[in-house]
């Protein structure tokens, strides 16, 4: 009796394994069909061939150069503005002194 029970259990396991493998085969066949039906665009071809990495690297270099140029330009503008600010302050102080002198002469 015990052997029959063990055999039935074993038989259920084998049936389960067979069903599982059949479903896996079906899944792989469906995936293969999906891959075959997939329309390959230029962009997909580039990704497959690895060309998109080159474009990304080129874009990265171009953007880094652009950032560096913008930073340099900003530094130059800041320097120019600081120089202008210094000149204007000197002019203001000179005008203030001149006004004081004119006021003292006027009295």
Question: Is 4 part of any domain?
Answer: yes
The domain in which residue 101 lies consists of: 51-107
Judgement on whether residues 31 and 77 belong to the same structural domain of the protein: no
Per-residue confidence (pLDDT) for residue 43, from 0 to 100: 77
Mean pLDDT score of the chain: 90
Question: Is 43 part of any domain?
Answer: no
Model confidence band, residue 90 (pLDDT cutoffs 50, 70, 90) = very high
Judgement on whether residues 57 and 33 belong to the same structural domain of the protein: no
Residue 107 DSSP SS3: coil
Nearest to 1 by CA among 66, 9, 82, 94: 9
Judgement on whether residues 27 and 77 belong to the same structural domain of the protein: no
Count of domains for the chain: 2
Q: Given a cut of 80, is residue 46 above it in pLDDT?
A: no
Judgement on whether residues 60 and 106 belong to the same structural domain of the protein: yes
CB contact set of 55 (below 8 Å; sequence gap of 6+): 46
Judgement on whether residues 27 and 72 belong to the same structural domain of the protein: no
Q: Note the maximum CA span of the chain.
A: 133
Per-residue confidence (pLDDT) for residue 34, from 0 to 100: 87
Judgement on whether residues 77 and 103 belong to the same structural domain of the protein: yes
Q: What is the mean pLDDT of residues 47-58?
A: 76
Residue 39 DSSP SS3: coil
Positive or negative, the CA dihedral 88, 90, 96, 98 is negative
Pick from 15-19, 55-59, 76-80: least confident:
55-59
Tell me the whole-structure pTM to 2 decimals. 0.44
Question: Is 44 part of any domain?
Answer: no
Question: Is 89 part of any domain?
Answer: yes
């Amino acid at each position: 009796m015990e052997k029959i029970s063990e055999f039935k259990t074993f038989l259920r396991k084998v049936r389960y394994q067979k069903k599982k493998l059949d479903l896996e085969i079906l899944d792989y066949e469906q995936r293969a069909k999906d891959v075959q039906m997939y329309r390959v665009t230029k962009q997909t071809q580039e990704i497959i061939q690895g060309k998109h990495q080159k474009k990304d690297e080129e874009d990265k270099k171009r953007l880094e150069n652009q950032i560096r140029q913008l930073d340099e330009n900003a530094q130059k503008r800041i320097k120019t503005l600081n120089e202008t600010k210094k000149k204007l302050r000197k002019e203001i102080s000179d005008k203030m002194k001149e006004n004081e002198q004119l006021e003292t002469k006027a009295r």
